[in-house]
Each structure stands twice: as structure tokens, then as C-alpha cells.
Chains A and B, each alone.
Chain A
Amino acid sequence: MSNAYLADAAKRLAQAFIVILLAYVLTFVVVSILPGDPITNVLRDPQNGFSEDEIKAIIAAQGLDQPIPVQLWTSLSHFVIGDFGLSMRSSRPVATLIAEVLPSTLILASAAFAIALLLAMTIAYGTQFIPKQLGQGLLRGFPSFFLSVPNFVIGLMLIHVFGFQLGLFRVIAPNSFWATFFAAVALGIPVSARIAEVLIANLDKESEQEYAAVARGRGLTQMRLFAKHLLKPSSLPVVTVIALAIGELLGGSLITETVFGRTGIGSLVQRSVSTQDLPVLQAVVSLAAVVFVLVNLIADLVYPLLDPRVKLVDGPRERPSTADDSATAKSAAVTS
């Protein structure tokens, strides 16, 4: 790893930090201009029985009588040091609430991701090795089929078949191994489809490249050709797809957790939305932004390590320009 790479990586990291702050500010502004005032809703609820003075005191204590920019600044400066404030509904720290449910979601998402990768690799491998007469076409249809069936339908089907019919897991124990496994399968299947689509298209393209024919002429078996030559260049675009798929895992976990009755970030968000618990929502949305930015940052940082032709930052490329490039440039210049 060269110094230039590290310097570029540091630059990217700084950019990522700014993007996260901007995402926080945007969320804050959107929440502020939304109609409805949850604070007043809660405080003025006759069942809670606060007097006008008490209400004023609470609002002043929370700093909610300040102008929006001041509130934003306070909230942002707390966010930077990891303080998300208190939940309005339970009065417990938001950080604690999230910390309680995060492991469950992380387990589900990483299991789903592992299943998605495995499934995508298996399908892609099959399309390269299974002969046409033995159902290669069927296998090639899998990704588009997976993408066209909604996540919750897959979940309900899995619950019906493996939960009720085969009795592999019990719906009332959503954190058991098999329940988690099938929730992860439901979540991972659409993600695997995206990865498989890109992987298959690239494997098809790479196996038609001249270097693949030359390597075969060197006496490589089909298996070695796949493992040593085709897999790596075909996987490069998959890195980008994976970064996008992480977003899908986040969104999908919300639905999957509801379908399988699991507690997690998804169920926390669902509860917070229905009770207008703004600090929790603000924290979760910001957390999602952090995850997204970090995953894309990692994808960008990993790419140049995998592909020797790519440099992290745009600049003079090492690739020698070909005659065709200059001809195109000239063409554009002369005819304009």
C-alpha cells in the first residue's frame, strides 16, 4: 500500500464524514418542518396531567423554545460525540435503545448477506458449468424470479412451509436458530438475485475475452479457468453492487423483522414512527446514513486493491492512451 493510496484514503474518509453530517442536518430539517408536534401531543395529553407551567419548564429544559438553527446546533454537537438524547416515549437514552436491538438486526443482516453471497455464487457457478440441456436456462431465470417476488411473500412462504408444515421452527420463538436462518433466507434471496445478475453477466463477458481462450490454450481445466481467471475480474463490479445491496438489507430487515416477529432496528423504527418518537427516528436515520456511507467508502477503498488498473483518485492514468482515443478526441474537436 503506497503513501499516495493512504493519503487518498484519508481524503475519502474526510469526505465521508462531511456526507454523514449533511445527512444528519437534512434529517433534522425534514423532521422539523413536518406537520404535527409530538411534544405538545404528549405533554398536553390530559391523561399525563401536566400543568401549563410544568409544560413550559419541560420545553425550556429540552431547549425546544429555542429557534430551529440553535436546536440543530445543539443536537448536532451532541450527535458528533455520540449522544443521541432521550427517547420521548420511554425517557431512556436513545443510544441504549438502539444498542439493545442492534445485535439482533446485525445477526439477521450478516446471516442474510452470507446466504445472499453463497446463493449468488452457486447460481453463477452453475450457469458456467451446467450444460444447456441440464437446465442452465432455468438457473439463469432464478435471479429475475427472485427479484420479482416481494420479500414478505418469500418470508410468509418460508414460515408456512418450514414453520407450520415441516415444524422446523416455532413462530413464537423468533430468535431460535432455524427461525433466524429462515428470516435471513427471506431477506437474502432478493439481495442474492442482484449480485447473481451482475456476476453472471460478467462471467459470460469475461469467458468470451481473448485472455480466457489463451489461458484455455495453456491447458487449464474449466474449473481452474473459472477460479483463477474469470472469478476475480467478474467480481469487481460485484463490489459496487454489494455496497448497494447493504442498503437493501437495511430496508428489507424492517419488513422481515415484522413478518417473523423479531425485535430489532426494524421493530424499533416501526414503534417510533407510530408514537412520533423523533429522537429515536433521527438517530436511526443518521445511523443508516453512517452505514451507507461507510460501506460505499469501503467499496471504493477496496476496489483499487483488487484491480491494479484503477487508481483511487482521478488523475493522469497509467493506461497508455491508444490511437483510437486520440482519434475520437480529434474528431470531436475538428467537427465542432
Chain B
Amino acid sequence: MAAQDRLTADTLTRAELIAPVPLRPLPLLRVDGLSVCYGPHEVVTNVGFELGRGESLALIGESGSGKSTIARAVLRLLPSGGHATGRVAFDGQEVLGISERGFRPLRGRAIGFVPQDPANSLNPVRTIGAQAQEAAALLDEADKAFRKQLILETFAEVGLDNPRRVYDSYPHQLSGGMLQRVLIGLAILPRPALLVADEPTSALDVTIQKRILDLLTRLQHDLKISLLLITHDLAIAAERANALVVLKDGVIHEAGRTASVFSSPESAYARKLRADVPALNPDRYAASRDRGFHAVKTGGGDTPKIDVGAVTKTFIVDGKTLTAVDDVSFIVPAGTTHALVGESGSGKTTAVRLLLGLEQPDTGTISVAGEQITGRSPEALRAAWRHLQLVYQNPFTSLDPTWTIERLVREPLDRFRVGTSKERVARVREALADVGLGGHLLSRKPGTLSGGQRQRVAIARALVLKPDVIVLDEPTSALDVSVQADIVEVLLSLQANLGLTYVFLSHDLALVRQLAHTVSVMHRGRIVEHGTVAEIFDNPQQPYTRSLLASIPSGIAGAAHLPQARLRLMATAD
């Protein structure tokens, strides 16, 4: 705290020199006319905002909006080739133009940084403790044992259960959530005045996301740290920040206090962003979702499309038996969407591998369209796969970058020797048209497509064999909120038109509520609760389900628990 007090004292003298009679307190961070270029390409154009002491401000936008670039420009951590112009004043001092030597004293000590990807943000070949000592070295504390004590206390403060073990661990020995806590701990350890958090939770499960965000909010309040939060999720931003800056293509579309931007957005883009957040619009697709559902219900038979009966699968890992899927049963009527909800390690991926016949269960049976999947030979499974297709999680890694779109979508037809080559091309065009892509993309390669277009290609690839069942493995988790909305619309219209049955894996309950009909909540390999979407969401019975539901960011309503002191400060600042 001593360092911070001194900093404030310095600043006051300096501020008095610059403006003898300040009309209002000097903002901690003031960005003015900031532009960032990579070579001739300008990615951020003339951006300006202010962040007051103890306040929080969120930069919101989809990928490519320049929000992370702004954060990196403020931190002076732009990748090589990036060049920032304009003014960034920290605590009244211009920091963009000064030398690295002049800026270094602010790094860590005055401006802390919580990065986006916890798995790659710590040196993999050094222990956590060695890296924490670097952060502790920023404090004027010569005694190494005392510094270690301080590190352990900070680890406990950020909710790490066994600080000593964490201290001696290497990064690969900890989970993503633990690593993110470590990174937050390292950032707050020198007690900075400003914390820049770049998508601090996008790589984490929902319940961990909530805990990390709660932690940031609490630390911000307790330590009087200002928070610059970068996120693509308007619900999170509204819940956690006093002020919002909405960005698109490097330009500010809207900025202001959270309450006004959130409840009455003025720009078209902010309105769209708001409409695309599943958590804020649970019934957005209710009509189209239920249309398909009712059509099937009135016309269809009673045999469920998918019948999973008491399936158990165990693995032996390092001599220990691990029950990945434990007595799991569910049925999915034709033309409906069944969501398997759970966090990493809940067993939902194994359940789907069993459904696809990629693993054989120890006990239990699985049938699809009345045909048994379990106990089949590889050849018989191939036949089943014509009716059972999978859409992968990450369209950036699931499509071979050297193949053309035509070849990618045609491959299943080639493998199953469907029709003549002319018919195959016609079928590829049809599948692309189904997902709303034009034939002009046929000769393009994945690298030239956007994330949303790529996932449409992946869906077309699954559709091309005219399957009845499509397994969707977190199909939108690698995509932006607005692109996610786009993909959800494609999926729902396909279901309504083709009567597809979906098995939908997700940890995003808000999204599940938008598009699923029935839900199974998985936890540690078991289904802890199942039912229709209305039953689960309106009247959850199990504590685990309730904790999942409580983790959905709720926008401005959730801001009620924001510290009142800061809200008042905000009001006086205006």
C-alpha cells in the first residue's frame, strides 16, 4: 500500500502543477485519440475513454473489434509490428510516448495485467513460485522468506486451496481455473492501481467463470483497484463494469455509463450485441424452436430417435479406475434437441463418443433410430455414421486449411461412394445452400473464411450425407456472441425444415435454454438432473444445477452486488 500512497501523493503535486484548480478528480487512465496500425493496416481508429479511480470500465466487441489491441497498447505490449499513436495518460502522466526505461517502473507495480489464455501465459518450464517471485520482487521487500509468505497469502486470497503445492508446481500440473487464479494473484500482488483484464474467463467453465469474476470484483473493491475489463460478452460487461465502451472494427460505436448503454442502447450495433446475448434473451428462438417440435410431435411415431440405456464406461488411468460415464440414460424424440450440459470432466464428451460408437460401453445399450450402436463391428458402424454426424467445437482447427471448401464438404460423399461425381457436387451445393453459403465459396480455402462461415461449412459437411441425427459438440464456444446467434439460427431453421434430431453438448446454459427442448445435467459422469428446458430452468431441484444456473451472467440485474461506494463515486464523477 505504501507504494500506492506515494504514487498518489506524487500525482497530486504533478496534477496541481498542470491544472492548479482541477474541476474534478484526475482520471486514473485517460485514452485520447488512440490509433494502432500494423504496417499500413489500421486496426484501432481514434479511440478515447476515461477510467476513474476505483471504477471499472469494459471494452466490448467481437474478435477483430480492436478491444484487445487497445488493452495491449495501454500496457505497451503490442506484438512486434504494431504501432500506437495518440495519447495514453496514466495518473496524469503521458505513457505512450515515453521510453521503455521510463515506463518499466509502472509495469506490474502500477498497471497489472491478467491475460486471456491462462494455459499459455506462464512459462511452462519454470515453477509457479519462481514466476511469482518476479511479481513479489516489484515490492520493496528484501527478505525472500517474507516475499514467499506474501505470495502464499496472495494465493490464498485468490482462492487457491493449497498455496504451497501451487508454489512448487509447474503450470502444466494445474487446471485452467487454478492458473487463472495464479495469474490474477501475480497481477494483484504488487498492489497496482490499475488492473487490465483481457477476457479473463473466456477459456474457463461457467461456474469457474463466475468465481473468477466475483474474485475480480471483490479485489477491485477491497484493494481499490481500477479495472479495465475486455470482453465479448455484454452480459458479463454489464454485470461487472460501471461504464461500457462498445467497439466494432476498431471504432467506438457507443460509450457511456453501463445503465444507460445497457438499458437503452443508441447505436444499432450495441442493440444487436444486446439481442445476441443468449443470457438476456432466453426466449428469442422459442417460436421457431417449438414450431419444428410440434410438427414432429403431431406427426411422428413413439419410437425415440436416440435411446441410451444405463450406459457405464470406465477408463484405467495410471492404475486407477476412472468412471467417465456412470449409469447414464436418456432418450431423444425425433426432431428435437437434447442438451447434455456439464463442465470439463463431467463426462459429456465420453457420452457422445459412446453414442457415435467411437468407444464401447462397459455395460448398457445405445440405439439410434431403432438400430443398436453398441457391440457393432467397424463396418456396421460405418453404415450407422451415414445417419449420425458430428459438428466439432472449433472450426478453426477442424477444417484442413489446405483443402478447398468443395473438397471438405464432399469428402463424406466420397468416403461413402454416394452417387456420381456430378451428383456429389450438386449435393455439396445443396448442403452449402442449406446453411446459407453461396456456391462461389466452393473453390475457396478455410483460411479465407470467417469463423461463422467456417462453422457453416462444418455443418454443411455433416449435412451432406442427409443424416437424421447431428451431434453438436459445443458448436459455438469458439465463436463470438453475434456469430453464435447466426449459427443458432442456421441450426434451428435446419431442424424445422429437415426434421433433424440434435444432441447438443454445451456448458453454456443460456444457449441451451434458447435452443434445446430437453436437458440432462451431467456432473462427474452421472446425470444429476434431467427434464424439459422449462422444468430445469424454472424449477431446478439439484444444488449443482442451481449453481450452474446462478453462473449465467445476468447483465445489469447482477450488478446489484457491485459495491455501492463505487456506484456513488461514479455518480459524483459525472
Contact = CB atoms under 8 A, between A and B. Distances in A.
Interface of A: 208-211, 213-221, 224, 228-229, 232-233, 236, 306-309, 316, 318-320, 323-324, 326-331, 333-336
**A214, A320, A323, A331 — which one has the most chain B CB atoms within 10 A of its CB?**
A214
Contacts of B172: 308-309, 318-319
A229 B123 contact: yes
Contacts of A208: 79-80
Contact of A309 (B170, B385, B398): B170
9 contacts: A211-B121, A213-B79, A218-B186, A232-B125, A309-B125, A319-B172, A331-B390, A331-B392, A335-B412
Nearest to B315: A316
Q: Which of B80, B116, B126, B474 has the most CB of A within 10 A?
A: B126
A126 to B, nearest CB: 17
A221 B138 CA distance: 12
Contact of A215 (B134, B356, B385): B134
Nearest to A207: B80
B122 interface: yes
Interface string B60-79: 00000000000010010101
Interface stretch (B45-53, B106-114, B483-491, B528-536): B106-114
A216 B78 CA distance: 11
Contacts of A210: 115-117, 120-121
Contact of B107 (A216, A232, A333): A216
Nearest to B350: A326
Given A217-B108, A218-B108, A324 B394 contact: yes
B397 A209 contact: no
A211 B131 CA distance: 10
B75 to A, nearest CB: 6
User: Top 9 A-B pairs ranked by shortest CB distance?
Assistant: A219-B108, A219-B107, A217-B113, A327-B392, A308-B170, A218-B108, A210-B120, A214-B121, A213-B77
B104 A219 contact: yes
Nearest to A322: B119
Interface string B27-39: 0000000000000
A210 B72 CA distance: 12
Nearest to B399: A331
A306 B113 CA distance: 28
A307 B125 contact: yes
Contact of B317 (A232, A236, A316): A316
Given A211-B120, A307-B125, A335-B415, A218 B138 contact: yes
Nearest to B137: A219
A327 B471 CA distance: 12
B433 interface: no
A320 B171 CA distance: 12
Nearest to A309: B172
A324 B394 CA distance: 7
B393 interface: yes
A209 B474 CA distance: 27
Given A213-B77, A217-B113, A233-B123, 14 more contacts: A208-B79, A211-B120, A213-B79, A214-B115, A236-B125, A309-B125, A323-B394, A326-B349, A327-B392, A328-B397, A330-B358, A331-B392, A334-B385, A336-B415
A229 B171 CA distance: 14
B358 to A, nearest CB: 5
B20 to A, nearest CB: 33
A215 B123 CA distance: 9
B349 A318 contact: no
B107 A334 contact: no
A219 B77 CA distance: 11
Nearest to B124: A309
Given A218-B134, A318-B172, A323-B474, A334 B121 contact: no
A208 B131 CA distance: 18
A40 B104 CA distance: 79
B571 to A, nearest CB: 32
B222 interface: no
